[in-house]
Chains A and B, each alone.
Chain A
Amino acid sequence: MRTRRSEWLTVVALEAWLPVVLVVAWWFGSASSTSVYFPPLSSILGSFAHDWLNSAGLASNLLPSLELLGLGFGVALASGVVMGTVLGLTPALERASRPLLEILRAIPGVALLPIFIVLFGIDQEMKVLLIAFGSFWPILLNTVDGVRGVEPLLFEVAEVFRFGRIRRLLSVVFPGASPQIFAGARTALSISLIILVVSETVGGNGGIGYFLLAAQRNFAISSMWGAIVALGILGYLLNIAFRLIERVILRWHRLQQTRLGSEK
């Protein structure tokens, strides 16, 4: 028990020393900085606390972003998994639509911003649609590959036991494809974060992107740096949350697989 704890401490110390050294170096290196663009870390952290670490700041700067991200990513996840499953289960359709999908996927999501503004205006719906469109493709293509990669034997077992369509989807297709779907969703998450920030620079609904742009226009450099720190923390926390969800869901998947294995 004690050795375990000391091992754990060694790992933490090894992983933490360099970031700590860098932050300390940044703090002292920038303490007497008079550069407009690189303010002292103390004033950056002051702006960060003022803009982000209270309920008013969170409500106007963070909540709108989280709402957009949740809606856009949710739409992409739902539609990507549904369409990916359909295409994955009908190879002829998948082969026929491959060139079209490749062209659409190659469009950089941000490049569509002007088109979406002209088509849908600058409201929330436009931003949700843009985020959804940009993060849809990795989920779709990974779902197709995941569904097509499901062990064929499992389909035969389902056939023998006369599983209905729904039962077959829930107990054969989705469990088999879920690791690949998660891989696609992780890529989609980082794409949706980029498109989120970009889309918020138009219109005035608050959010991180809006805040960042306003800070730049007002030449509020410390606030701008504070927003960069906030975005870094948000990205990191989202990644950790994603990893936790993935671990819980894929553990269930592993259990399911071993059970199927033992029944066989």
Chain B
Amino acid sequence: MRHTRTGRRLAQIVVLGVALAVWWIASSELPPKVMPSPIETFGALGGYLVTPLFWTTIAETVGTFLLALAICGVVGVTIGLAIGSSPIANQSTRFLFDFLRTIPPIAILPLVLLLFGPTPRMVLVVVVLGAIWPILIQSIYAARQGEPLLREMSRSFRMPRRWYILHIFLPGSMPFVMTGLRVGTTICLLLTITGELLGGAPGIGYQIENAQNYLDTPRMYAYVLVSALLGLLVNAVFWLIQRRVLRWHSSQRREEY
């Protein structure tokens, strides 16, 4: 029974049910207004689903997130692959990128906030400056991961450079680039919501912060739940894209996280 598919589903539902029950009991034991019950939270969330404000909030967050991811992806992968193909460029930038990577992106938030105010552009700058490093550094690695035999073969057959880049270099570095993009995607979403929450720019983060100021705990919990669901959705979409892009690659089935 335990090993059948339905048995496993059943066990998972039981665990989720127990978690909800714990939440419920905790919310009723605590003083009112401190923790809403699951029913209050889901009720509030259901109410928001029909308001335009909810959807513009989601659109703000998702819009900033996607734009930041696109910028990080294009800039990070291009520069990373270019630097990675040159040993001198790679060595010259190693310390620099290693240092910049470890600065917590939140450090520049006060500065960017003074420059741009509580706007989506402010969030965008913070997110790009924070999330580009894993993509860039992983792309630098990626440029050196191609099969040397294939490189030598295309050289001895005097294949045109364009052909080499398209058919040997890019496919060879793709698995590592995808790893960097996956880490970057998670960081992008995290920083988007963080920037909105701390900087007061419109979006999910702002709703959470604003709800706290009014002690509107059901709204607070509802939007935290929404941010978690958004994270799950983004992860799922990324897996689908990665499956398509790397269909040919065996590494696909083994993953470190």
A: residues with CB less than 8 A from B are: 11, 14-19, 22, 37, 92, 95-100, 102-104, 106-115, 117-119, 138, 141-142, 145, 180, 183, 190, 193-194, 197-198, 201, 212-213, 215-216, 221, 224-225, 227-228, 231-232, 235-236, 238-239
B11 near A18: Cβ-Cβ < 8 Å = no
| Chain A residues with CB under 8 A of B11 | 92, 95-96
Extra pairs beyond A15-B94, A111-B193 (18, CB < 8 Å): A14-B92, A18-B92, A22-B96, A92-B2, A96-B11, A97-B15, A111-B194, A111-B223, A114-B209, A114-B212, A117-B212, A141-B257, A180-B256, A183-B256, A194-B106, A224-B111, A239-B98, A239-B102
- 27 A-B residue pairings within 8 Å (CB atoms): A16-B95, A22-B96, A99-B12, A100-B19, A103-B228, A103-B229, A107-B224, A107-B227, A107-B231, A108-B193, A108-B227, A111-B223, A114-B209, A118-B212, A119-B34, A119-B35, A142-B256, A183-B256, A193-B104, A197-B106, A198-B106, A216-B110, A228-B107, A232-B99, A238-B102, A239-B98, A239-B102
Does residue B197 face the partner (Cβ distance < 8 Å to A)?
yes
Q: Nearest chain B CB to A238's CB is how many angstroms away?
A: 7
Interface centre among A104, A108, A224 (most CB of B within 10 A): A108
Contacts between the two chains (Cβ within 8 Å), count: 157
| Chain B residues with CB under 8 A of A238 | 102
Does residue B189 face the partner (Cβ distance < 8 Å to A)?
yes
| Chain A residues with CB under 8 A of B257 | 138, 141-142, 145
Q: Nearest chain A CB to B208's CB is how many angstroms away?
A: 6
Given the known inter-chain contacts A37-B115, A95-B8, A108-B190, please indicate yes or no for A232 contacting B107, CB distance below 8 A: yes
Does residue B159 face the partner (Cβ distance < 8 Å to A)?
no
Measured in the bound complex, the distance between the Cα atoms of B95 and A19 in whole Å is 8
Question: Which single member of B2, B205, B223, B256 contacts A145 (CB below 8 Å)?
Answer: B256
Measured in the bound complex, the distance between the Cα atoms of B30 and A180 in whole Å is 39
Given the known inter-chain contacts A108-B193, A180-B256, please indicate yes or no for A96 contacting B12, CB distance below 8 A: yes
Does residue B117 face the partner (Cβ distance < 8 Å to A)?
no
Q: Nearest chain B CB to A220's CB is how many angstroms away?
A: 10
Question: Which single member of A104, A111, A190, A201 contacts B102 (CB below 8 Å)?
Answer: A190
Question: Which single member of B111, B194, B208 contacts A228 (CB below 8 Å)?
Answer: B111
Q: Nearest chain B CB to A193's CB is how many angstroms away?
A: 5
A96 near B208: Cβ-Cβ < 8 Å = no
Interface-side segment among B148-156, B166-174, B214-222, B239-247: B214-222
B113 near A216: Cβ-Cβ < 8 Å = yes
| Chain A residues with CB under 8 A of B2 | 92
| Chain B residues with CB under 8 A of A97 | 12, 15
B: residues with CB less than 8 A from A are: 2, 8, 11-12, 14-16, 19, 30, 34-35, 88, 91-96, 98-100, 102-108, 110-111, 113-115, 189-190, 193-194, 197-198, 204-205, 208-209, 211-212, 215, 217, 220-221, 223-224, 227-229, 231-232, 235, 256-257
| Chain B residues with CB under 8 A of A190 | 102, 104
B107 near A227: Cβ-Cβ < 8 Å = yes
Given the known inter-chain contacts A19-B96, A194-B194, A232-B107, please indicate yes or no for A99 contacting B212, CB distance below 8 A: no
| Chain A residues with CB under 8 A of B229 | 103, 106
Q: Nearest chain B CB to A30's CB is how many angstroms away?
A: 14
| Chain A residues with CB under 8 A of B102 | 190, 232, 235-236, 238-239
Q: Nearest chain B CB to A80's CB is how many angstroms away?
A: 14
B96 near A18: Cβ-Cβ < 8 Å = yes
**A235 nearest CB neighbor, chain B only:** B102
Question: Which single member of A17, A103, A180, A235 contacts B103 (CB below 8 Å)?
Answer: A235
Question: Which single member of A110, A213, A215 contacts B193 (CB below 8 Å)?
Answer: A110
Measured in the bound complex, the distance between the Cα atoms of B256 and A141 in whole Å is 10
| Chain B residues with CB under 8 A of A111 | 193-194, 197, 204-205, 208, 223-224, 227
